[in-house]
Structure 1
């Protein structure tokens, strides 16, 4: 899946159609079925993803010097 975030998904069908055509033209054959999608969590997707990383990846090793 290819996720295109920010304000891009709100631009409208004219841009969306052009983006899908560009993907189809530039991707390797086996990947041409990929289509850009808006993020599931909308505008907050990047922030929510970054916040989720704090629960899955430690920011430092416990006991290590900071």
Structure 2
């Protein structure tokens, strides 16, 4: 439902899901596609580009982007 509302270019499914195996991955993709509106039917859930470290790397990258970490920045 959220993909239908937001119309994303991609959907990333992380955590342990990508390691579960092909059978589960195919079932997940089929169930996901069945819920999408026709213009989005080409979307397929994919694993994070940086694998298991994606969440940690993303959190680390945020430390350089958040105004909280730049002394003197307007809030």
- After TM superposition, the runs of 4+ consecutive aligned structure 1 residues lying more than 6 A away are none
Counterparts of 2:58 and 2:71, CA distance in 1 = 22
The two structures have a TM-score, normalised by structure 2, of 0.75
The two structures have a TM-score, normalised by structure 1, of 0.85
Greater RCO structure (CA 8 Å; 6+ sep): 1
What is the RMSD computed on CA atoms of the aligned residues?
1.6
Paired positions, count = 64
Higher helix fraction: Structure 1 or Structure 2?
2
Structure 1 unaligned segments of length 5 or more: list them. none
Counterparts of 1:26 and 1:44, CA distance in 2 = 29
